[in-house]
């Protein structure tokens, strides 16, 4: 992996290789970002499923759970 360091002395930047520590840190940050993205997708899917369940129960005249009622109120 490479990085570009821009300074007043080198306004066009200097291309350098990342150190092993920087590579490890970059990979850890990417893994964390991927994990957060996956969690966000899962949360969004769960909310959509809860909304669909609440709608189906309302149409059928069934009682809603508290979480289902909260999706309608919020």
Contact predicate 2/17, CB 8 Å: yes
The answer to whether 3 and 16 have CB atoms below 8 angstroms apart is yes
Predicted pLDDT of residue 26: 93
- Give this prediction's pTM: 0.62
In tens, the pLDDT along 1-41 reads 889 989 999 899 999 999 999 999 999 999 999 999 999 99
Helix, strand and coil percent figures for the chain, each rounded to 5 = 65, 10, 25
Q: What angle do CA 74, 58, 51 make, to 5 degrees?
A: 45
């Amino acid at each position: 992996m490479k990085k570009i360091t821009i300074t007043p002395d080198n306004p066009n930047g200097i291309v350098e290789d990342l150190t092993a520590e920087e590579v490890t840190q970059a990979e850890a940050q990417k893994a964390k970002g991927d994990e957060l993205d996956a969690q966000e997708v899962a949360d969004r899917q769960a909310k959509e499923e809860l909304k669909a369940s609440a709608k189906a129960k309302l149409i059928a005249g069934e009682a809603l759970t508290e979480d289902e009622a909260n999706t309608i109120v919020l």
